[in-house]
Amino acid sequence: MEEHDAWMQKAMGYAQEALSNGEVPVGCVLVYQNQELATGANRVNETKNATSHAEMVAIQKVMRWCVEQNRNQKEVFREITLYVTVEPCIMCAGALRQMGVPLVVYGCSNDRFGGCGSILNIASDSLPSLGPGYDVIKGVLAEEAVQLLKQFYKHENPNAPDDKRKIKQASAE
């Protein structure tokens, strides 16, 4: 448990960073063999790509690392734990499953897009073409994650044309 809190605290730092860059404050850390292998923060505005979520950014970093280190990508992802401040959305939940990540730990749930139980359960539904499901631990530092999101939505995202990008985040578990 303490281990989960410690890693999540790190993820929270990256969420904070995203907030100061005007992005949705979601941060994550990919832990491999008890080491921080990659981190991610939302980069949607910067990349003009709505799929640049923290998880996707971090996954991409691990892919690059595997190429540089000449490591087998599949084997590396099989030993990764994701710590993310907000429940992964349906897209990221699908990406994590296809990469074979076995464990996802998240903070607060995502009542709009959540793919690990809130809206759909991509983590454990029977989806044979996406590979086996993964385990999910939720509610780690949920309150902190909610606070960051609240801070963000107090000042609307200036890059969105209207307020539709709002993700109303659920309160802590």
Partner 1 sequence: MREGTCVTTHCIQSAHIPAMSEAVLVPVLTDEYFRPVELVDFYVSNILDRRKTAEAVKLLSDCQPLGKFQHLKRVRNIGGKDSPLQILLCPLNKELDPNDSTLISDNAAKDSASSEVLCSANPHAQKCVLDADGSVSNWREKTTEQSALCIESFNSEQSSDLNLISDSCRIRHHEKSTFSQSCATINGNSGCSAKEISQHSVTNCKHDCTVKEKDSCQTGCEADGDSLPQRTRTGVTVRSLLQRQVQDGVFSKPYLVKVPRHGPLTRKQFEETKLYWPVTFHEDKRIAKLVSGKFFTASEVNQIKAYLQQADVMATHAQQKGQGSVGVVIVDSAKDTVIARGHSLTGDNPLMHAAMVAVDLVARSQGGGMWDMTDNGMYHLPVDSTKDPAAPDVTTETSSKTKSGPYLCTGYHVYMTEEPCPMCSMALLHSRVSRVFYSQPRRDGALGSRYKLHTLPSLNHHFDVFRFTTHLHSQQIAS
- The dihedrals phi and psi of 169, each to the nearest 5 degrees, come to -85, 140
Least distance to Zn ion, CB of residue 89, Å: 3
89 binds Zn ion (CB under 5 A): yes
62 binds partner 1 (CB under 8 A): no
32 — alpha (psi -120 to 50), left (phi > 0) or beta?
A: beta
Least distance to partner 1, CB of residue 4, Å: 25
Q: Which parts of 95-154 interact with partner 1 (CB under 8 A)?
A: 95, 98-99, 111-113, 115, 119-120, 122, 127-130
- The three-class DSSP label of residue 24 is coil
| 111 binding partner (options Zn ion, partner 1, none; Cβ < 5 to 8 Å by kind) | partner 1
Least distance to partner 1, CB of residue 47, Å: 4
Query: Is 25 exposed, middle or buried (CB count within 10 Å of its CB: 0-12, 13-18, 19+)?
Result: buried
Binding mask 72-91 for partner 1 (x = CB under 8 A): -x---------------xxx
Contacts of 128 (CB under 8 A, 6+ apart): none
Q: Where are the beta strands (DSSP E) in the chain?
A: 27-32, 35-41, 80-86, 103-108, 135-137
Residues 148, 12 contacting (CB under 8 angstroms): yes
Note the residues at the interface with partner 1 (CB under 8 A): 43, 46-52, 56-57, 59-60, 63-64, 73, 89-95, 98-99, 111-113, 115, 119-120, 122, 127-130, 160-162, 164-167
